[in-house]
Chain A
Amino acid sequence: MAWLHTWAGLVFGWLLFAIFLTGTLSYFKNEISQWTQPEIVPHKVTAADSVNRAQHWLQDNAGDAKRWFIILPDERSPQLGVSWIPAKGRFQDKTLDSLTGAPVQARESMGGEFFYRFHFQLQMPYPWGRWLASIAAMVMFVALISGIITHKKIFKEFFTFRPRKGQRTWLDGHNAVAVLVLPFHLMITYSSLVIFMTMTMVMPVSILTTYGTQTQAFFDDLFPAFKTTVPAAERMPLAAIAPMLDIAADKWPGSRIGLITVNNPGSANASVTLARHGADQIPHEPGTALMFDGVTGALKEQSTMNAASLLLAGGIYGLHMGHFAGPLLRWLYFLAGIGGTAMIATGLVIWLGKRKLKHARAGVLPFELRLVEMLNVASMSGLMLAVVSFFWANRLLPVSLAGRSDWEVKVFFYVWGAALLHAFVRVFFRDGRSAWREQLCLAAFLYCTLPVLDMATAGSYLWASLKQGYMTLAALDLTALATGIFLAWGAMRFRGEKNVVIASTSSALPEAR
């Protein structure tokens, strides 16, 4: 069982570190997007006004579309999002200013969405990335449970953390972040499998044996309000959507509206479906919706997802996403995610550290261990470098550069690739310590100076937001600074040459100070 935990953890650890880190960042993806597009400023607008502006814009610019989608601004996302499926062609979207109803003039950037999508698609072509991520999720589950089974002293050592004792400290740390945050880790891992299952990926057999070839019937059973219909030939103007929000407020007291879907706008059988805002309840409830007649504006159907099995799956889904979390709970989600990331990181370090001790007497590590060391450096400090580079690119790339948001992503991957190369050169031609030290130093510098960069390149937005009382931009800068300080502390521990004691009586090395 320990063998399983150790090897599953190693082989998938590098990938899982990346998944956990980007997933943790995703809890603040809306805030990251605010930082990467500081031109979009929050306005105090009512939902009715926002929806009117969205409707007018869509009417003027996508009047013949098959479907419209409207996402209203909220306290974490200041923009008014509209998207549509044109009569011919692919899905399109636009970001509108909630006050003017006109498209925003902001630098093009994926923002937090980049980390979110990477987290479950891994930047690989559809569907391979998702498959790899789902396999990683299953391996994570196995590694967690096998780790619990192996940790025989789980209760005795529940409160044990002994610093300054080398390998023992690393193991105590690994156990501490694993066991003390275990409810979160178990929830995150199992819920990720459930989410992949809802994408009908990992366990589709029961759909097939129950519904045969009519898989669409499965979705219609689950989400009756979202059935697509063929547009009627007759054209009729679409009713105003704003009054529908009032009816919804009556049917769903205390809930805001999240997604507004208009089917066949401008057609005689147009319909408008309203769904609740994701942050107003814990479970993900795609089956709970209000359907309105698109021409008369009357409420036609109210569906509520109240089946226990669906609420179970939806609840598990919602726990993973954490949409419902307010500011304090969201920070706790973030910290728990950091804990999970640290659990994987400490595991990778321990795996190598234990085997390095065995090769202490020989001056040179065998090839496999150096390979592991290189991958450790590249996947951990390398990824930290890549993440901060994304933010640096966002501030430094010219606003009018074509394909700007693709370039931000390219910078992320080029830096990660460069970190891998650097790690290779250092680990194989000098030693692992210099690889860690140099990458952590550079990362510390970039994180610590991100606030300075922000003030220098986008300071006007920063001061404006603070004057209005919005802390998001400053909070991200401060978090970057804190991260930089932590990385600097890490880099310090690799300073100086390793004290290699080759003597017949000693067998253990003094650890990195």
Chain B
Amino acid sequence: MLLAALLCYVGFTALCLSMSRHYADLLGGSLSTGRSRGLKAIGWGALLLSLWVAMASLSIGQALVQWFAALMSSAVLLVFVMPYWPRLALSLAGIGALLVPVAACLQLLA
């Protein structure tokens, strides 16, 4: 579930960045349409991937419960960290993205 949770956070951050208001707050500068679309694709892709990953390792009932828990937790974390520590919010996404392959290996080996 660690992998799924990381993907949820990364996905939500990408979706957040795909909105021009938040992009401006977090990264500065204006957001081009192409970049926005790209970020939306990454965001949704990561969320869907996290669901697939969750279902791969647990029974469907447990998988859905834990996935929703990861989804809600990562959204809350992002939304409440962002206005106070925007760089931290972004760094967490960056670190999360880096840890994805590590978590994937852990899940495959378990």
Binding site for B on A (CB under 8 A): 156, 158-163, 176-177, 180-181, 183-184, 282-283, 315, 319, 324, 329, 332, 335-336, 339
Contact = CB atoms under 8 A, between A and B. Distances in A.
A475 B83 CA distance: 30
B10 interface: no
Nearest to A339: B76
Nearest to B76: A180
B96 to A, nearest CB: 16
A161 B62 contact: no
A181 B72 contact: yes
A324 B21 CA distance: 41
Interface stretch (B31-39, B63-71, B97-105): B63-71
B75 A329 contact: no
A162 B73 CA distance: 19
A283 B73 CA distance: 23
A276 to B, nearest CB: 15
Given A176-B76, A332-B73, 10 more contacts: A159-B12, A159-B16, A159-B19, A160-B21, A161-B79, A163-B83, A176-B79, A177-B76, A282-B65, A332-B69
B79 A180 contact: yes
Contact of A162 (B19, B75, B78, B83): B83
- Cβ-closest 10 pairs across A and B: A180-B75, A159-B16, A282-B61, A183-B68, A332-B69, A180-B76, A181-B72, A161-B79, A161-B83, A163-B83
B84 A181 contact: no
A397 B62 CA distance: 43
Q: By CB atoms of chain A within 10 A, which of B65, B75, B78 has the most?
A: B65
B65 A329 contact: yes
Residues of B contacting A: mostly: helix
Nearest to A325: B65
16 contacts: A158-B15, A159-B22, A160-B21, A160-B79, A161-B83, A162-B83, A176-B76, A176-B79, A180-B72, A181-B72, A183-B68, A184-B68, A282-B62, A332-B72, A336-B72, A339-B76
B80 interface: yes
Nearest to B19: A159
Interface of B: 12, 15-16, 19, 21-22, 61-62, 65-66, 68-69, 71-73, 75-76, 78-80, 82-84
Contacts of B16: 159
Nearest to B67: A183
A272 B13 CA distance: 55
B80 A161 contact: yes
A104 to B, nearest CB: 34
A221 to B, nearest CB: 25
Contacts of B21: 160
B77 to A, nearest CB: 10
Contact of A329 (B66, B76, B82): B66
Contacts of A163: 83-84
A43 B68 CA distance: 35
A319 B65 contact: yes
A331 to B, nearest CB: 10
B19 A183 contact: no
A122 to B, nearest CB: 28
A324 B63 CA distance: 13
A236 to B, nearest CB: 42
A336 B68 CA distance: 11
A153 to B, nearest CB: 12
Contacts of A177: 76
A158 B68 CA distance: 16
Given A180-B75, A282-B62, A159 B68 contact: no
A319 B16 CA distance: 30
Contacts of A282: 61-62, 65
B60 to A, nearest CB: 10
Nearest to B78: A159
Nearest to A329: B69
Contact of A315 (B61, B78, B80, B82): B61
B15 to A, nearest CB: 8
A283 B82 CA distance: 37
B46 to A, nearest CB: 15
Nearest to B73: A332
A159 B65 CA distance: 23
A335 B69 CA distance: 10
Nearest to A322: B65
Given A181-B72, A315-B61, A336-B72, A159 B66 contact: no
Nearest to B77: A180
Nearest to A185: B72
A324 B73 CA distance: 19
Contact of A181 (B15, B76, B82): B76
A274 B20 CA distance: 59
B73 to A, nearest CB: 6
Contacts of A183: 68, 71-72
A315 B72 CA distance: 20
